[in-house]
Amino acid sequence: MRRERFDKMNVVPFIDIVLVLLVIVLATATFVTNKTINVDLPSASSKKNEEKESIHIAIDKEGKYFYNKESLTLELITERLSKLDPKKDLISLHMDKESAFQYFVDLIDILKAKEFKNISILTKQ
């Protein structure tokens, strides 16, 4: 029986491994928090005062909703959200890790129906 010389390297498994690592890096890179750069902005006389409202909505592990630290039902939160500007105002969501995911989905459905654009989900590092 005659053996062939080993003069070629099969790179297909290597490419597969690199592609899997690339997918993992790209998937986890979206969860890295963005660090901000502190910049002292110049002032102008024609500055427009934008009144952006920052709303904090929290869900505890029992499923209670809090709107700016005030305990409310989901219906009352929906009423208050309808009075806000969906393009300007910022909504930050705080959710207990042990609460049911359905509470979060219900809240996101309301925010999507109201067409809110500035939504942040707060997590700890």
Q: Does 98 score more than 70 pLDDT?
A: yes
Q: Return the H-helix or E-strand segment holding 81.
A: helix 74-82
The residue ranges of every structural domain in the chain are 54-121
Reading the block at residue 88, the tokens are 């300007």
Report pLDDT for 54: 84
Output the CA angle 49-55-58, nearest 5 degrees.
165
Rounded Cα–Cα distance for residues 5 and 36 (Å): 57
Separation of first and last alpha carbons in the chain: 61
Q: Does 35 score more than 80 pLDDT?
A: no
- SS3 label, residue 86: coil
Residue matched to tokens 């959200």:
81
Percent of the chain with pLDDT over 70: 79
Domain 54-121: which CATH number of 2.60.120.650, 3.40.190.10, 3.90.79.10, 3.30.420.270: 3.30.420.270
Report pLDDT for 41: 63
